[in-house]
Structure 1
Amino acid sequence: MSSASRTVRTDDDVDLHVEVDGDVAAPLTVVLSHGFTARLEEWDLQRQALRDRARLVLWDQRGHGRSGWTPLTRATIDRTGRDLGEVLDAVAPEGPVVLAGHSMGGMSVMALARQRPELFGSRVVGVFLLATSAGGLVRTGLVGLGVGALRLLGLLPVYLRLLQALAPLLERLRRRGTAAGRWFTRRYLFGRDDADPAHVREVQALLEQTPLPVTMAFYATLLEHDEAAALSVLGRVPVTVVAATTDRLTPLAHGRRLAAAIGDAELVEVPGAGHCVNLTRPWVVDDALLRLLDRVEARLPGRRAG
C-alpha cells in the first residue's frame, strides 16, 4: 500500500489537490468526489474499506480543501464536471475506473457523463451516487417558494450576486464552532436517529473550514443544477444509488428518481439516516460500494464473476 499527493492543474489554471492511495497494482481505480463545502477527508472511512480492493484517487473540488480558488463565474457544476475529467485524465489515464460521488460530487459525475459520454462504458465502468440529485432540489417548502418568486420576478441573479457580495464581510465576522452552527449541522446534515454529538461536531468542523465566499459562489449552481440528460449515459454501466430516508438536503425522492431514470441501478435506502450517511452508516455505504465493485469486476475481461 502507498499514499501520495499531487497537484492537477486545470485548463483554466486552477490547482486541484489530489491524493492517490490503496493498491496501486489493482486493476480497478476508484475516484471519490466529495460534497458541497466538504473536502476529500469526508471519505476517510470508505478509504479504509477500499484500500485492499482498488487503487484510490481522491480530490478536493475547486475552492474546497487544499485546491485552489476560482473566479465566481466558474464555480459551477458544469466546471467541476470538467475538473473531474481532467483529474481522471491526469491520474487514471488508463484502465477501468469507478466514479463515486457524494452530494455535489455526484453532480460532478453526472456533469462529466453529459460532457464526455464516450468515457462511460469504456474507461468508466461503474458509478456510485451517494445522497445526491439530478436537479430540482429547491422546488418545495419556503425556500422553494422564495426562489420561485425571485425567478418569476427576474430577481434571482440579483439575489445571488448580493449573497456573493456579502460573503467576504460575513466571513470576516464569522465565528466557527458555535452552538448555532451545531444546530444547523444537526438539522440539515443528519437524520432522524443518526446524530451522534461527536459526529455532529466533526461534520461542523469539516464544513466550516470552507470559506463563505466559496459557499455562496457554489450555492447558485446548486439552485440551477439539472443533469437529467446525463442519466441515460450512466445507464451504460453498473450504478448504485444510496439514499437516506431522512436526508433534508437531497431527499429520498431524488434518489428514487435517479435510480428509476438510470434504469438498471441498484437502489439502497438507509432508514433513519441523513445526508452524512457515509459517516453515520459507514457499514451500509461500504457494503454497497464493495457490491458495486463485485458487479463491475464480473464484467471486466479476464475476470471471474463474484
Structure 2
Amino acid sequence: MMLLSIYQRLAALISLAVLAAGAGFIWSWFRLREVLAAYPDDLIDSQEWRLWTGGLLIAVSFLGRLPVGLLLGERSDDGARLVRGPGEMVDTQDGARLFVEQSGPPDAPVLIFVHGWGLDAGVWWEARRMLSDRYQVVTYDLAGLGRSKPYRDRRYSLDRFADDLMALVSRACPRKVILVGHSIGGMTVQTFCRRYPETLGRQVVGVVLENTTHTDPLRTTALGEGLESLEPVIKPVMRLDVWLQPLAWLMNWQSYLSGMTHLAMRFGGFGTRPTKAQLEQVSRAVTRNSPAVQAKGNIAMMEWGVTEDLPQMRIPALVFVGGSDLVTVAQAGETIARRMPQARAVHVGDAGHLGPMELADEYNAAIARFADEVFTRGARSADAALGREPWPSEPLGEPRAFPVTPGAWPND
C-alpha cells in the first residue's frame, strides 16, 4: 500500500489546491466589486463568472465524492460490507489491543487473514462469506488501524506485526492454521515464517501471499527505480505526517469529501471497476486511520526485506500475482514463488493491488482449493465432528488459476 499512500497524499494536495482556487475566485470577485464600484453595473456583472466558478470549486471540494462514487463504482448488493460486526479485543505483548472477528465452525481448521496497510479487516468481507461455511475465518485489524489500539510506545515494525500474528496462531492451537496476507499482510506472514520457523509444517500448514513483495515496496512498484531514488525525500515527508498529524488528518478528510481520495484509490488500487461499496470502504479506511500510524508503518516497510530468507521458508505457499497491479509489480510475486521451495504462483491478469476485493471469487476459490489440499485431514475431522458430508476433492472453479496436484503437499 506504499504507493497508494503516496497517491493519497498527492490527491489531498490537489484537493486542497481546488479548494484554495475556489476561495481565490470568490475573493477576487469581492475585490473587483470594490474596485469597480464607480463603474456601470454591467461591468461588475461581467465578472460574476468568478463568483460562480469559485462556488462550484468549493462545492466540489466538499461534495465531490457523491458524483465521483457514482461514476467510478458499480452498483451492487454488498453495502453490508461497510458495517463492522462484533468482535473481541486481544492484548499483545507490546501493549497493543487487536480487534479480532471470527466466523465459521468453531472446531474447523483456521484461516487467519492479515489485511493491507492503511485498511482494516472489513476488506475481507467476501472471504468471510465464501470460506466460513467450511473453515473458521479469523480476521483482525492491525495494531493502530481500524478498531485496534496502537502499541504502548507507538513504534511500528514488521517484527511486531509478526509477533501479534503469533498470538493469534497460539489462540487457534491445537487446530491447524493457514495464514493469508495481502500487501503488508503478506510481508507480515513472511516475517512470521522467518521468526517462527518451528511452527511451519506443524500448526501452520500453509501460507497464502496476495499481491505482496519480499523487499522494500518502493523497489517493486510500477514506478520502479524512479520512486526508489526519491526515498531520501519520501521518508522526511512521512515523518511530517507524524509531526503534523492533525493537519494531515484534515487534509485527508477534505480529500475524501472532494472525491480525490476515491479517484486515487480507484486508479491506483483497482485493476477493474470496483463496486461503490468497495471503493467507499477503501477510501473511508485510509482517511479514518491515523496518518501518523500509516506513516510509521510506511517507514517500517522501507526498512524491511526477507529476500534471502525465502529459501528457508519450507511450507506450502500460494502466491497471487496481479497483472494490473501498479503498487506491487508481478516480478515481486514471481520472485517469492520462485525462491520459496513449495510455492506456486497464481496469475490473475485483471487484478490490481486490491485484487482480493475486486476479484474475490477468483482469489477465494483458489484459496479454497489450496486449503482443501493442505487441510485434508483436519477438514475431514471437522466434517465428522459437525455431521457434514466431506467436501468434494476436485478443484473448484477454473483450473487455470491453481491446478491442484493431490498429494503435492504433506499435511504434517
TM (norm. structure 2) is 0.66
Matches of 2:131 and 2:178 in 1, distance apart? Answer: 12
Residues 88-130 of structure 1, C-alpha deviation per residue, up to 9 Å, x if partnerless?
A: 22x2121211111111111111111111110111110011111
| Corresponding residue of 1:227 | 306
Q: CA deviation at 1:167?
A: 2.9
Q: 1:301 to 1:271 in 2, by over 3 A?
A: closer
**Cα distance between partner residues in 2 of 1:225 and 1:286:** 28
> What letter corresponds to residue 159 of structure 2 in structure 1?
D
2:103 counterpart letter in structure 1: D
1:77 aligns with 2:158: yes
Q: What amino acid is aligned across from residue 302 of structure 2 in structure 1? A: L
Partner residue, 1:5 = 87
Secondary structure class of the residue paired with 1:62: coil
Q: Deviations over 1:181-240 (max 9, x none)?
A: 12211221112x4445553333212332212112111110121220224423432x2210
Provide Cα deviations, 1:13-63, integer angstroms capped at 9, x if missing partner.
21111112111121x111111110111111110111111111121111101
Q: Report the equivalent of 2:409.
A: none
Moved over 6 A (4+): 301-305
Match of 1:254 in 2: 332
Shift of 1:73: 5.8
Partner of 1:248, secondary structure, is coil
Provide Cα deviations, 1:257-305, integer angstroms capped at 9, x if missing partner.
1111113322111112201111111111011100111220246698799
Match of 1:29 in 2: 110
Task: Go from structure 1 to structure 2 and tell me whether the alpha carbon gap of 1:232 and 1:302 turns closer, same or farther (over 3 Å shift).
Answer: farther
- C-alpha contact (below 8 Å) 1:232/1:262 kept by paired residues: yes
Indicate which of 239, 258, 261 corresponds to 1:178. Answer: 258
Change in 2 beyond 3 A, CA 1:233/1:123:
farther
1:142 maps to 226
Listed as ranges, the matches of 1:9-20 within 5 Å are 9-20=91-102
Quick one: structure 1 residues 7 and 71, their matched pair in 2 at CA, closer, same or farther if it must change by over 3 Å? closer
Partner SS, residue 215 of structure 2 = coil
Aligned residues of 1:239 and 1:264 also touching (Cα < 8 A): yes
Structure 1 distance, partners of 2:258, 2:318, is 36
Q: Aligned partners of 2:153 and 2:117: how far apart in 1?
A: 15
Greater share of strand residues, 1 or 2?
A: 1
Residue number in structure 2 paired with 1:289? 367
Other-structure match for 1:277:
355
Q: For 2:135, give the aligned amino acid.
A: A
SS at match of 1:275: coil
- SS of 1:177's partner is helix
Aligned position for 2:203: 123
Which of 121, 134, 139 pairs up with 1:58?
Answer: 139
Task: Work out the number of aligned pairs and report it.
Answer: 294
Q: Which residue of 1 aligns with 2:245?
A: 167
SS at 1:127's partner residue?
A: strand
Deviation at 1:158, TM superposition (A): 4.8
User: Superposition pairs for residues 178-217 of structure 1, below 5 Å?
Assistant: 178-191=258-271, 193-195=272-274, 199-217=278-296
Structure 2 vs 1, CA of residues 302 and 39 (structure 1 numbering), >3 Å: closer, same or farther?
closer
Counterpart contact for 1:167–1:216, Cα < 8 Å? no
Equivalent residues of 1:62, 1:68 under 8 A apart: yes
Q: Which has the higher helix share?
A: 2
SS in 1 for 2:163: helix
Amino acid of the structure 2 residue aligned with 1:92: A
Q: Please, what is the CA RMSD of the aligned residues?
A: 2.4
- Give 5+ residue unaligned stretches, structure 2: 1-84, 382-389, 394-412
Specify the alignment match of 1:98 in structure 2. 178
| Displacement after TM superposition at 1:136 (Å) | 3.3
Question: Residues 251, 229 of structure 1: CA spacing in aligned structure 2 closer, same or farther, 3 A cutoff?
Answer: same
Normalised to the residue count of structure 1, the TM-score between the two structures is: 0.88
One-letter amino acid of the structure 2 residue matched with residue 46 of structure 1: A
Whole-Å separation in 2 of the counterparts to 1:196 and 1:5? 25
